[in-house]
Structure 1
Amino acid sequence: MKALILAGTMALAASFAGAQQFDYGFAGLMGKQNRSDLPDLTLGSGKPVAEGPISLKSGGYYKMKIVADGSAELALSGGDFFRAIWINEIVINNIEIRPLGVHSLEFDAAGEAEISFIAIMPGTFELAIPGTSGDSQKAVFTIQ
């Protein structure tokens, strides 16, 4: 019986030794070749947040930078937008954050955050500076 167990264990070990190594890097949909870079969003006193409306495709993989110039303490808020996407990561100062949910990002000083995400739910959504109403103080995203 011990010989049978030993033979089975050796056969299992041999099969693992010959197994291919898996690369859990971002392949498939989330490979860099499938990612589209979006225009940067800007946070600055009196500056427009976005150059214009941004169109996304449901199921598309995107990367977007939010750049604050430090001229004022500003945030971008948009719970509806963040619920319409799946966030892969937010990178701040080379620190990768993989959140379960986001409502807003606030910059107290100059800095940059990079968000990579997959657009999920079709519709029109906004990321806006809280307490503002001007069209230039928000980014409008349409997911088709």
Structure 2
Amino acid sequence: MLKTILATACIAALLPLAARADDDDDDGAAPAFGPAGLLSAGNKRDLPPVILSAGMPLADAPWELKSGTYYEFEIQGDGSQELALVGPGFFRAIWIDEIVVEGLEIRPPGLDSIEFDEAGEMEIGFVAIKPGRYYLMVPGSTGETQRLEITIK
């Protein structure tokens, strides 16, 4: 009973920390999180898609993310070649909410890499957690266009 009370008190004490995130808007006001907190619509940002295509760049520009913000992005494979995408450091610096493939929602405890054997799309929703510099890349490639640089602030 005492453990339950202490655990509840600790959770209640930590909840306001999620609402203290800095806001990048010009008005300087803190974001208005809804009942879902970090997962609320007001805290969600869409990222440009990652394109898996033989000889084509993964993305147009590096990503600059903010810790505590929820992001979604699509990975689009055109089927031109069997291609994988690795980024173990990045995948360990985020909390993956879900991966959606053809309407199927997957909620993995972690991820190391993905691979497209044929054309298709997947969407990944995540919360950026650990600040640092990371990457997603096609394994075995050496070209700069086959690597997406990611910074979490």
Match of 2:120 among 111, 116, 123: 111
How far off its partner does 1:109 sit?
Answer: 0.4
**Structure 2, gaps ≥5 residues long:** 1-34
- String of CA shifts for 1:52-111, please: whole Å, max 9, x gaps: 110000111100100001100001001000000000000001000000110001000000
**Structure 1, gaps ≥5 residues long:** 1-25
How far off its partner does 1:32 sit?
Answer: 2.4
Question: Which protein, 1 or 2, shows the higher relative CO under an 8 Å CA cutoff with sep ≥ 6?
Answer: 1
- String of CA shifts for 1:22-54, please: whole Å, max 9, x gaps: xxxx72220223210000000001110011110
Query: Which aligned runs of 4 or more in structure 1 are off by greater than 2 angstroms?
Result: none
SS at match of 2:56: coil
Q: Which amino acid aligns with 2:65?
A: L
Match of 1:66 among 75, 80, 96: 75
Q: Which amino acid aligns with 2:83?
A: L
How far off its partner does 1:138 sit?
Answer: 1.2
SS at match of 1:67: strand
How far off its partner does 1:133 sit?
Answer: 1.1
What does residue 54 of structure 1 align with? 63
What does residue 125 of structure 1 align with? 134
Give the TM-score of the pair, scaled to structure 1. 0.80
- String of CA shifts for 1:98-142, please: whole Å, max 9, x gaps: 001100010000000100000011111011000001110011110
Q: Which amino acid aligns with 1:124?
A: R
The sequence identity of aligned pairs, in percent, is 53
In the aligned structure 1, how far is the partner of 2:52 from the partner of 2:98? Answer: 20
In the aligned structure 2, how far is the partner of 1:91 from the partner of 1:140? Answer: 23
SS at match of 1:115: strand
How many aligned residue pairs are there? 119
In the aligned structure 2, how far is the partner of 1:93 from the partner of 1:138? Answer: 25
